[in-house]
Amino acid sequence: MEKKPHFVRRDFPPREVSSLSLALLLAAVLLLNALLYLYLNKFYISSGHAETDSSLCSFGYFRLGAVKNCSPWLSCEAINREVRRLKRVGEGAVKKVFLSEWKENKVVLSQLTNSELKEDFLHGLKMLKALQSKHVVRLLGYCEQQFTILTEYHPLGSLRGLNETLHIPKYKGMNTWHRRLMLAIDYVSIIHYLHSSPLGTLVMCDSNDLDKVLSQYLLTSDFHILVNDLDALPLVNRSAGRLVKCGHRELRGEFVAPEQRWPYGEEVPFEDDLMPPYDEKTDIWKIPDVSNFFLGHVEGSDIVRLHLFDIHAACKKKDPAERPSAQEVLDTYRRVLTLLIREAAMPGTREML
């Protein structure tokens, strides 16, 4: 009787299959992390918001538009001769602002409004010259004798118009939790820069309400933020015992930090001489409110708020010494961005592991 061939069926042990799947999953996670690093690197380093901006020139010079060479800041004579005013586009307590033209480039000419505030104007010019960086609007020229300043033009204007801009069809694709969180990161980066500036620790004093804060910053065409108004930027010097006060009037409301409010109650009339000074932690108190504006109410923004809850609670500590530094807030924002991008790219990864 002929024997039938005997085939032996061999199955991979379940454990080997699990190990192979796990190895492939870990390889995918490592690849994702590498791609994520390159993606974030694009924003933090090569997007024009690097630690050293390649578009910046040496002190006293500027580069505008597609021009490769740096030009010296325009003098009084050059501004009078070469800059043409087009129309007035704004006016504040210190200066009025004109959309202007220089060599076929749109520029902004700012001029002192009230002669009693010339010290504020000149202080703003001093800060603008000293703080030129990726965080600050580009200075093109100035004339101290005529109290005029020439800066780069950004057509999207101040951050007050952010939500309106994001509803324009051209920019609707930018209206995402990711892009809005990137704007919040830009904002905190500027606060960190001011707190660790080449001049020392500077406090953003023109920030008594949200609308005032937003008016101090510009939105660039590639959706980054620049600080534009540096008229009220006093210096904190702890080693010399030097603190600051933002103006000489009583500040009210929940937006300003507790230490900025009159501490002696309604029964004691406000006196500037009795008002205690404070430090840069007033800027930290305001970060959650400003970031809440940036995040808006798009899909995913509530998840971002949830991840930022602890750091924002720390920013709102009544004791300024217990609040985090701007660097700590910035590090947290960046970690949250990285985490959320990773989770969006590979949903369910945590459960699989």
Backbone angles phi, psi at 153, to 5 degrees: -95, 135
- Token pair for residue 337? 């961005």
Q: What is the per-residue burial (b if ≥16 Cβ within 10 Å, else e) of 262-276?
A: beeeeeeeeeeeebe
Determine the Cα–Cα distance for residues 123 and 60; give it in Å rounded to an integer: 17
pLDDT beyond 80 at 249: yes
pLDDT tens for 147-161 read: 999 999 999 999 999
Instruction: Compute CA 85 distance to the chain's CA centroid, rounded to the nearest angstrom.
Output: 30
3-state secondary structure of 181: helix
DSSP secondary structure letters along 315-347:
HT-SSGGGSPPHHHHHHHHHHHHHHHHHHHHST
Residue 149 in tokens: 């300043």
Question: Could you give the maximum distance between any two Cα atoms of the chain, in Å?
Answer: 119
Q: Which of 32-41, 226-235, 245-254, 303-312 has the lowest mean pLDDT?
A: 32-41
Tokens of 80: 């009078």
d(CA 203, CA 205): 6
How is the chain split into domains, by residue range? 71-152, 157-345
Instruction: Look at residue 217 and tell me whether its pLDDT is greater than 90.
Output: yes
- What tokens does 176 get? 């995402």
Question: What is the pLDDT at residue 272?
Answer: 96
16-25, 111-120, 321-330: which has the highest mean pLDDT?
Answer: 321-330
- The 10 Å Cβ neighbour count of residue 197 is 18
What pLDDT was estimated at residue 353? 40
Phi/psi region, residue 75 (left: phi>0; alpha: psi -120 to 50; beta: rest), is beta
For the domain bounded by 157-345, which CATH number is listed?
Answer: 1.10.510.10
Find the DSSP H helices in 84-136: 118-130
Cα–Cα distance for residue pair 252/270, rounded to 1 Å = 11
Higher pLDDT among residues 18 and 244, named by residue: 244
Mean pLDDT for the stretch of residues 285-296: 98
| pTM of the entire predicted model | 0.84
The CATH number of domain 71-152, selected from 1.10.3720.10, 3.30.200.20, 1.10.357.10, 3.40.50.10330: 3.30.200.20
Of the listed ranges 47-51, 52-56, 97-101, 293-297, the one predicted with least confidence: 47-51
d(CA 316, CA 324) in angstroms, rounded, equals: 10
Task: Tally DSSP H helices, then E strands, for the chain.
Answer: 11, 11
Per-residue pLDDT, 91: 87
Contact 333, 308 (CB under 8 A): yes
Residue 273: pLDDT over 90: yes
